[in-house]
Amino acid sequence: LRHRHSGPEADQLRGKGFPLPPGPPRLPFLGNALSIDRVTPWLIYTAWAEKYGPLVYVRLVGKDVIIINSEEVARALLDERSSIYSDRPHFVTNEFFGLDFNSAFLPYGDKWRFHRKLLHQTFRPSSVQDMHPLLLRKARCLAKAIVESPDECLTHLQVHAGSVILAVVYGYEVEPKDDRLVHTMQRLLTTTTRVMTPEREVIASAFPFIMYIPPWMPGSRFRRDAYESRAHSKESLEVPFEWTVNAMASGNAPHSMVEGLLRSYAGQDDDYDVREVIKAVATTAFAAAFSTTEGTLACFVLAMVLNPDVQRRAQADIDMVVNMDRLPNFGDRPSLPYIDAVLREVMRWRPVAPLGLPHATSRSDVYQGYYIPKGAMVISNTWAMTRSSRYPDPEEFIPSRFLSESGTLNEDEVVSVFGGGRRMCPGRHLGETNAWLSIVTLLSCFEFSKIHDAWSEEEVEWENGVARFPRPFPLNVAPRVRAKLLSVE
Ligand code: HEM
């Protein structure tokens, strides 16, 4: 976290006697940050919420950290005071590991604004609508792959996630197995997860010299990791981008984010090197979409395995609306509110980003009498928000909580899972449109069930990297009648 000292304005507020929000007692340097359960910190933050309320202050390794535990406070601060709450904390490891190209880590300012503009151009609702034919084709490919090897169902979800985003961003069609570009891009995510740990950030910011230890000295692992990470980062920025540039040069590039942006910015002078920005937003989109998409679908399959009644009801609805001689498509969406309710409940029940991405304050503030320092890291605890009193029995999977009495969808779109304010996920329309189609296609073609009655969620291991979601777990996948349609498509 870059040290943004409290300025005169902050001192004035502090001088007026506003207290910091309540929180746990001050904890020792290093000790506390490292003792916070790194695997599931949101559980500790949620326990603090019960004790201290919706706004918690904690000082972690010498930094101010504000934790927002309720949607009401998130809206009041992240949305309504977005000019203060839209910065990101500065992690020294981002630059060191070559990850500072990522739009999601940029400080609030003009450069970030330009990235957001390009992201919006590609992922706004009307552009996502143009992607419908591509998404339909991909959902059917996924279903076909599962028919062919149902035992690898969860791996197919991963391939599907990569395949959709590489087609959308670069116009690239992946090979069904061992695709070179998928490996390149996956390497970036694996390295990011391995090197970008809170421990490393704590160590690097406390002992910056560790980043300059020569490769032959003890303790140089840090630096060797950095070489590797920077190489992967460069590769994932350059290789797929070059693929699209070459495809454009040969006149057969399909429409994609990179192709569209290169065309619309061709010959335009700007304050930024537009080609470099296009590379950066493209790799960012891949990194942000891949695990969140795979994760949402893996949580969906887990929910179906654990809740056969929900699965039956969802399938009954589909079978009523969609004739057995065809597969569902986007036109069916308004007639299938329960499927949207299932999707919302998946995102609420096991949010793939339980703490979102941290924001930071760009100036000090006072909220409900509490002083919020400038430069504080602001964590939006989505886990707590998706377990609020608005959702009785929050650990139960109950899609009907999103339906009104007449069976239509209610107003609650669980927006907290996409973050808030000006930093809210720009890929949410694509994320949820693709998830809806994948879910409805899977439900129409397959029945998912436990391998035996005693199997429970406790046996699931969780991926805790860029996103949180179940690692492949054993399950039965049986084709339904509609799966036959896939072979004639
Ligand atoms: C279900 C799927 C997804 C979920 C749950 C999700 C969730 C999130 C969350 C919680 C954030 C942090 C927001 C904040 O700081 O307040 C975020 C940021 C972001 N997401 Fe997503 N996301 C999903 C899919 C996608 C997709 C498909 C893309 C791109 C195509 C994408 C691109 C981004 C980008 C670029 C950011 C950084 C925004 C910024 O810093 O300005 N996401 N997402």
Q: Whose CA is nearest to atom 13 of ligand 1?
A: 419
- Cα gap 125→137, rounded to integer Å: 19
* Cα of 114 from ligand 1 centre, angstroms: 16
Per-residue tokens: 174: 């992946």
Ligand 1 atom with the smallest distance to the CA of 284 is: 35
- How far is residue 371 from each of residues 10, 21, 293, measured CA to CA in Å? 9, 7, 37
pLDDT band per the 50, 70, 90 thresholds, residue 1: very low
Asked if the model's pLDDT at residue 365 lies above 50, the reply is yes
Pairing of strands 359-360, 377-380: antiparallel
Instruction: Tell me phi and psi for residue 159, to 5 degrees.
Output: -60, -40
The string of pLDDT tens digits covering residues 425-454 is 999 999 999 999 999 999 999 999 999 999
Q: Does 299 show up as a binding residue in the annotation? A: no
Distance CA 61, CA 253 (A): 49
- Tens digit of pLDDT for each residue in 307-346? 999 999 999 999 999 999 999 999 999 999 999 999 999 9
Say if ligand 1 is within 6 A of residue 381 CB: no
Q: Is 44 left (phi over 0), alpha (psi -120 to 50) or beta?
A: alpha
Q: Name the residue of 105, 300, 382, 425 to mutate for ligand 1: max ligand atoms within 8 A of Cβ.
A: 425
Q: Is 123 in the pocket of ligand 1 (CB under 6 A)?
A: yes
- DSSP SS3 for 456: coil
Distance, C-alpha 265 to centroid of its chain: 28
Confirm or reject: Cβ of 356 under 6 Å from ligand 1: yes
pLDDT over 90 for what percent of the chain?
72
User: What stretches of 307-427 show up as alpha helix (H) in DSSP?
Assistant: 308-321, 337-349, 382-385
- Distance between CA atoms of 384 and 143, rounded to whole angstroms? 34
Asked if residue 206 has pLDDT above 70, the reply is no
Ligand 1 centroid distance, CA of 15 (Å): 38
Q: 330, 437 in Cβ contact below 8 A?
A: yes
User: CA 114 to CA 95: how far, in whole Å?
Assistant: 20
* Alpha helices (H) along 333-477: 337-349, 382-385, 428-445
Ligand 1: residue of 75, 119, 418 to mutate (most ligand atoms within 8 A of CB) is 418
Q: What is the ipTM of this complex?
A: 0.99
At 24-79, the pLDDT tens digits run 876 655 445 545 566 788 888 899 999 999 999 988 767 899 999 999 999 999 99
